[in-house]
Each structure stands twice: as structure tokens, then as C-alpha cells.
Amino acid sequence: MDREKLIELFEEYSDLINMGTADDAPGNDWINAAEKALLVSFPADYKWFLNNYGGGDICGEEIYSIYCLPFNEAVGGDIVYQNTIANNNLQSNKIALSNTDFDEEFFFDTNDMEKVYISIGNNRQLYASNFLEYLQKRLLSYV
């Protein structure tokens, strides 16, 4: 999955998604601050998503982003808040991207930030080879 094909998929299934716009983008200063707070470097495709959409959800399933608020005040789906204040995911080498109503958690492994993993309870497995494939699979799971 490349970015152009993902954009086409978003357009085709626009009734299933609620994405922001580039106007909602957190900007490089916020992205750098989030990376520093999480002690990671985000994959290029996740940064592209932040720069082009700011954030959003697929069928109400929020994809964690950067709220452009102090991280201890951001709450909700701010990626830093979710992984440091709400949950101590860094201790488990995880950067959560989203959670579902079925107790599924999608996350980056801090040792391999390209791939996206899924956990249900203690069961942890590879979900997507990269962030774009994760977005594609999440969207198509609702089609």
C-alpha cells in the first residue's frame, strides 16, 4: 500500500472515516516533542499521516495523534498522553496507536517502529508491515 492508494481508499470509503486535514497537523515542533517524550522516532508514514490529516478515526476507532496541548493536559487520543500518563506502555516497549471496544490494542514496538502489532490480552502478534497497511486493514475490516 502506498500513500496515493491509501488516499484513494479514504475517498472511496469516506462514509467510514473521519479524518482531519493538513490544517489540523501538529507541526514539526509538536512531532519532535512527542518523539522526545516517547523516546522514539516515528516512522515516516505516521509523520505523513500527522502532517496530512492531523488525526482521525475509522468507524469511531480513534487513531492516536498529537493534540497540540501540553501532554499532561491533552487526555483522549493524544499519543503521548495515552502511552505515558494514561498507561505506562513504554515499560512494555509499546506505543499504542488505537484500542477497540473488543480489547484489541494496535501498537508500534519501540524496538521496531515500522511494523504495527496487535495484542488481545497477553497474545501479541504482527498485524501490519507498516502504518499505511495498518490503516488499510483497519478500514477494510469495516467494509
CA 103 and chain centroid, separation: 16
d(CA 41, CA 112): 10
pTM of the predicted protein model: 0.94
Cell of 117: 502489532
Q: What is the dihedral of CA 46, 88, 107, 140, to 10 degrees?
A: -100
> pLDDT-derived band of residue 96, with 50, 70 and 90 as boundaries?
very high
The reported pLDDT for the residue numbered 6 is: 96
The CATH code of the domain at 3-140 is: 3.40.1580.10
The reported pLDDT for the residue numbered 122 is: 85
Cα Dmax for the chain: 39
d(CA 109, CA 7): 25
Q: What is the mean pLDDT of the chain?
A: 95
| pLDDT at 1 > cutoff 90 | no
| pLDDT at 125 > cutoff 90 | yes
d(CA 5, CA 9): 6
The reported pLDDT for the residue numbered 17 is: 97
d(CA 135, CA 4): 13
**CA-to-CA dists, residue 126 to 51, 92, 105, 110, 119, angstroms:** 26, 16, 12, 14, 9
